[in-house]
Structure 1
């Protein structure tokens, strides 16, 4: 029988704050003999954070503050190093939240800015692009669930609270990664499995972008890939999208994966971009005939691999022009081959971007 796990119930960020402070508390020398495993791990954890932040001093004294200046956790090490921990589970960072905290520390303690560091600690999921956008911060690192598991696997004691935490994170990771075991010829992905797939697609597209194999947009500028949850009256879906794509003055075409527990597809979207006051008027300009003509052009280059959506919605905020039927690459067991699927989508994206002259008299 599987025993109850504290962290199946303690699911809020305040609970995780408390847990991290609990682990850091064992850093102090007084626990070295009475709780050697916890003391050893807490010191390992702090030193690992130092290593990732490139802080080249030996941590000897640790002070913790919770919710001080509205900061989740503030670590003050050796009376001179200030580490802001922004702790998240499913939420994301607010607008320049970490930079605002750094300013508060600077004003409160009059400390040299070079001694203020920040750690974005997240056990939930977040897109690669969202995380990369945070790298503009100085003295900053992030730890995601995989990183955190790899750190906590160094604990070799029998503290049930720490063991529960590790087991809960591994359970979350297994739920996400179970997409690898789904026969997509027979089954649909769950919400958690969709997120796991999108996490992996980030890892597949990243080297393509780094190696210059991810296409630039039709103006020669950088494209990007990102994913997010999209709410709608029918229950919403997770979108994995590729922008900016094939661009015109007021519209752009781009591929987008749409997935929920009922459907899983790659589509080409046509969206207006404009000032808010022009948006409604732009939507009115696009009628059914234009969408049919767009689809005809796409079929000319993609052939039978692209089909008409169930219905055209020219007045909606985003217009689906075509649906691909050959974008997924499955192995003999019906499991998705993420690398080959990413390469397949990448090639379709390149073709789409090459069609700028084809649509110039239509858009």
Structure 2
């Protein structure tokens, strides 16, 4: 495979540069230099505007795009009346109030310069959970994700520009890698497979969230299937990659009010109640963990990978997995109905 510049320039700043470069090709002054690239760039600009203004059909007369303006990754001025601000993400997520701050700055600038309301775009070429992206939408940003970019670039096979085609090859490879888990043996799964799997789960069933958990052991991908209280304590099912865990939180931030019960005591109570009901419902695969922790998020029971995900030498049966996960969610809901004895 020939060397691809974007296999070496993998940082968000490199992606910022490519997107800004492509957006500038939308200006009509570039139409004679490379008409095909200009057409793709114009389509890109229109798609971004239509995220906020679906009926947009104006002729594009002026496009100016740049980077790093008041910490905004990419800005675009269109027809001297539209301002687009773009938060460009690969594998990171928004933090603190950055999106709200960018939107406020852009709104004030548009008022001062007699522009229409800003169009705020969140471009994501990595993977991010629906729960996280819904938070982005609530802050007034419109999502333009990797499948959107793949569809745009692939719709222009006639373009011969090397920069364009290198980026297109890499983004297509990332998208394809995201779906390989469907055919691979479970034992061969890597980070992209767990992300793709959790994305599929959230499309096929209701889950609370999924994300990467960093820890001293290099971290892991996890999915929280549900989250609800048992007494005052949140109890939930968490997929820690191939391990299914029934867990309880005693973190002060998760509790509605102060409690005097010890972590070990509440952990043991929940464990005994859950195991008692597992026996009553003939869930023999729900077992005591190898050891009990004593932190703020504690595992009280586990289901081994072969009992819910499948044998490591096989590929997955997604419908059977979803059936089992929904059964465990229903079971945990029934456990929550059993009152805690001491608070």
Residue equivalent to 1:321 = 300
Cα shift readout 1:241-280 (whole Å, capped 9, x = no counterpart): 12323x1343122111011xxxx12121122243599689
- Asked whether the equivalents of residues 6 and 164 of structure 1 are also in contact (C-alpha less than 8 Å), the reply is yes
- Paired residues of 1:198 and 1:240 also in contact (CA < 8 A): yes
CA–CA distance in structure 2, aligned partners of residues 295 and 272 of structure 1: 19
Q: What pairs with 1:267-278 in structure 2 (closer than 5 Å)?
A: 267-275=245-253
In terms of mean alpha carbon deviation, does 90-99 or 283-292 score higher?
283-292
For residues 339 and 328 of structure 1, the distance between their equivalents in structure 2, rounded to whole angstroms, comes to: 11
**TM-aligned CA deviation for residue 337 of structure 1:** 2.6
Please give the per-residue CA displacement for 1:72-108, whole angstroms capped at 9, x wherever unaligned: 1111111111111111111111223222112112333
Instruction: Tell me if the contact between 2:64 and 2:76 (Cα under 8 Å) persists in the aligned partners.
Output: yes
TM-score (norm 2): 0.88
Residues 1:350 and 2:330 are matched in the alignment: yes
Alpha carbons of 1:280 and 1:83: their partners in 2 closer, same or farther (altered >3 Å)? farther
CA contact (8 A) 1:272 1:282 kept: no
Residue matched to 1:204:
204
Task: Map 1:262-341 onto structure 2 (within 5 A).
Answer: 264-275=242-253, 282-286=262-266, 288=268, 291-313=271-293, 315-325=294-304, 326-328=307-309, 334-341=314-321
Counterparts in 2 of 1:11-50, with a 5 A limit?
11-50=10-49
- Root-mean-square deviation (Å): 2.6
Question: What are the ranges of 5 or more consecutive residues in structure 2 without an aligned counterpart?
Answer: none
Secondary structure of the residue that 1:266 maps to in structure 2? strand
Partner deviation per Cα, 1:165-199 (whole Å, 9 max, x = no partner): 01111111222222112223xx2421221112112
The yes-or-no answer on 1:102 pairing with 2:103 is: yes
SS of aligned partner of 2:102:
helix
Question: How far apart are 1:321 and its partner, in Å?
Answer: 1.6
After superposition, where does 1:1-363 map in structure 2 within 5 Å?
2-54=1-53, 56-58=56-58, 59-111=60-112, 115-138=117-140, 140-155=141-156, 156-184=158-186, 187-205=187-205, 209=206, 225-245=208-228, 247-259=229-241, 264-275=242-253, 282-286=262-266, 288=268, 291-313=271-293, 315-325=294-304, 326-328=307-309, 334-361=314-341
Distance 1:31 1:280, change over 3 A: farther
**1:114, CA displacement in angstroms?**
5.4
Conservation of the 8 A alpha-carbon contact between 1:83 and 1:117: yes
Q: Distance in 1 between matches of 2:208 and 2:162?
A: 40
By how many angstroms is 1:8 displaced?
0.4
1:5 CA displacement: 0.3
Mean alpha-carbon deviation: is it higher for 18-27 or for 284-293?
Answer: 284-293
